[in-house]
Amino acid sequence: MELALLYSGGKDSTLAALTLDSFYDVHLVTAHFGFTDDWTHAKTAAETLGYPFETVELDENVAADAVDRMHADGYPRNGIQQVHEAALEAVAGLGYDAIADGTRRDDRVPTISRAQAQSLEDRYDVDYLAPLSGFGRRAVDRLVEETLDIEVGPSDTVPKADYEGELRQLLIETYGTDSVGEVFPEHEQTYVHGLLD
Amino acid sequence: MELALLYSGGKDSTLAALTLDSFYDVHLVTAHFGFTDDWTHAKTAAETLGYPFETVELDENVAADAVDRMHADGYPRNGIQQVHEAALEAVAGLGYDAIADGTRRDDRVPTISRAQAQSLEDRYDVDYLAPLSGFGRRAVDRLVEETLDIEVGPSDTVPKADYEGELRQLLIETYGTDSVGEVFPEHEQTYVHGLLD
C-alpha cells in the first residue's frame, strides 16, 4: 500500500517514516506556500534516507489567515494548527491509500483528535495514521538518539522545511520585524542528516 | 533497548509487536490469573512468530473486583479496563526499558489516557508505548489482512489468551452460568497463526 507522510526533514517525521516502513511504500510529502525554498531541505533529507519525495503547495490564504491568528494571539499554536490541518487535507487529496504525520503523544500542537481523524478518513476515503501518537517525548528522544544522525540548534539557524520559516517571513512582511520575536519563543529545532550506521 | 509488550495472541498485539520490531528487542508478556491455561495459546503464537515469551501472574483480587464490577454494570467495559491497568502495572514492574500494548485509536476499551501513560512512566521509570493508538480500525484491518495468518470466530470458540476467558470462568463460578451471557455480548475474536509469506 502507498502512503504519503507529511514530512519536514525533522526528527519526528523521519522517525514516523521508519515506523511505517515495514508496512507501506512510504512517500515523503512536504507542504509549502511557495514563499521560500525551505522545502529543499526536506528533499535533501528524503534523498539521503532513500524515500521518494514530492511537494504539495498550499493556498497563500492559509498562510495569511494563520499569520493573522498568530499575531492576534501573540503565540503560534493556533496558527500552526490551522496550517497543519490544511496540509493534511492537501495530502489526503493526493490519492494515496493512507496518509500520516509525525504527531507525538506529548505534542501540544499540532494535535489531530479522533473525530478529526475519522472525518478526514471518511471524506477522502483514506487511512490517516499518526504512528508516533502513542510515543511519549522520552521514548522518541531515545529512538532518535539510537537511529538518526541529527543537527540540533535554535530554530532560526537549523535548516528546516516545516511551515515555520515561511510563516516567520510572512509575519515580518505583514506585521514588521519585531512581530516574529513576539509570536515565536526561542526553541530548538532538529534537522536529520541521515541514519546512524 | 528491551521492550515488554502485553500480548494476547490476537491481531492487535501481534501487529503492535511488528511495528516495534525495528526499534526494540521485543519480548511478549501475557498476563493471567492462573485460573485457566489460556495463556498457552499466546505462548504458541509467540513461538510461531519467533519472539521470546513470558507470563506475569496478576493478583486474584484484581479478577474478583473486575468480575464484581462487570456483573454490577451488566457490561464488561469497566472491568476489562481495570484488569488492563493492573496488567500494565505488572509489566511495568518487570524492569524493561519500555513497555507497550496493542491499544488502537478506535478502541472503546481499554484506553490509556496521556495522564495515565505519564504516571506509569514516572512511577516505574519506563517508557510506555501504544504503537497502534494512531491507527484506526480500517488501517489495522488492512495491515492484518496483508501481514498475518489469522483465525476469526465467536469469542467463545477461538483460542485466545486475553483476560476474557479467565474472567468468564470466574463470572460463572461467582454469579452462575447465565451471568456470562448478561455481561458479554457476542463478538468476534481473532487468533494469530503466524505471518503470511
Please name the residue of chain B whose CA is at the shortest distance from the CA of residue A114.
Answer: B105
Asked if A52 and A24 count as a contact pair (C-beta separation under 8 A), the reply is: no
CB contact under 8 A, A136 and B118: yes
Task: Read off the amino acid at residue A174.
Answer: T
Q: What whole-number distance in Å separates Cα of residue B85 and Cα of residue B186?
A: 24
Q: What type of residue is B146? A: E
CA-based diameter of chain B, in Å?
47
Give yes or no for B180 touching A (CB within 8 A).
no
Phi–psi pair at B54, nearest 5 degrees: -145, 165
Task: Say what the ipTM of the complex is.
Answer: 0.89
- Chain B residue with the nearest C-alpha to that of A105: B114
Half-sphere exposure of A62 (CA within 13 A, CB side): 21
Q: How far apart are CA A99 and CA A171, in angstroms?
A: 29
**Burial profile B69-87: b = 16 or more Cβ within 10 angstroms, e = fewer:** bbbeeeebeebbbbbbebb
Q: Which of the four pLDDT bands, split at 50, 70 and 90, describes residue B143? A: very high
| B136 Cα to chain A: minimum distance (Å) | 7
B111 has a chain A CB within 8 A of its CB: no
What SS3 class is residue B186?
coil
C-alpha–C-alpha distance, residues B127 and B3, integer Å: 9
- Interface test with chain A among B1, B23, B124, B125, by most A beta carbons within 10 Å: B23
Cis peptide before B185 (omega within 30 of 0): no
Per-residue pLDDT of chain A in tens (197 residues, 90 and over written 9): 999 999 999 999 999 999 999 999 999 999 999 999 999 999 999 999 999 999 999 999 999 999 999 999 999 999 999 999 999 999 999 999 999 999 999 988 899 999 999 999 999 999 999 999 999 999 999 999 999 998 887 766 677 777 888 999 999 999 999 999 899 887 777 888 888 87
Residue ranges of alpha helices (H) inside A33-107 are 39-49, 60-73, 77-92
What is the spatial distance between Cα A48 and Cα A25, in angstroms, rounded to a whole number? 17
B132 touches chain A (CB under 8 A): yes
User: Which residues in chain A are closer than 8 Å to B19, comparing Cβ atoms?
Assistant: 19, 22-23, 131
- Distance separating alpha carbons of residues B117 and A138, to the nearest angstrom: 12
Show residues of chain A in contact with B14, CB under 8 Å: none
One-letter amino acid of B103: T
What does the pLDDT read at residue A156?
64
Dist. CA B99–CA B88, nearest whole Å: 8
B18 with A21: Cβ contact below 8 A: no
For residues A149 and A188, give the distance between their C-alpha atoms in angstroms, rounded to a whole number: 16
Tell me if A131 and B131 make a contact (CB, 8 A cut-off).
Answer: yes
- Smallest CA–CA distance, residue B125 to chain A, in Å, is 11
Binned at pLDDT 50, 70 and 90, residue B193 comes out as confident
Cell representation of residue B144: 492484518
Question: What's the whole-number mean pLDDT along residues B104-123?
Answer: 94
The 10s digit of each residue's pLDDT in B29-67 is 999 999 999 999 999 999 999 999 999 999 999 999 999
Q: How far is B76 from chain A (nearest CA, A)?
A: 23
Q: How far apart are CA B20 and CA A23, in angstroms?
A: 12
Rounded mean pLDDT, B60-85:
96
Does B88 touch chain A if contact means CB atoms closer than 8 Å? no
List the beta bridge partners of residue B27. Answer: B4
Interface contact A133-B134, CB threshold 8 A: yes
Task: Please state, in angstroms and rounded to a whole number, the distance separating the CA atoms of residues B20 and B127.
Answer: 13
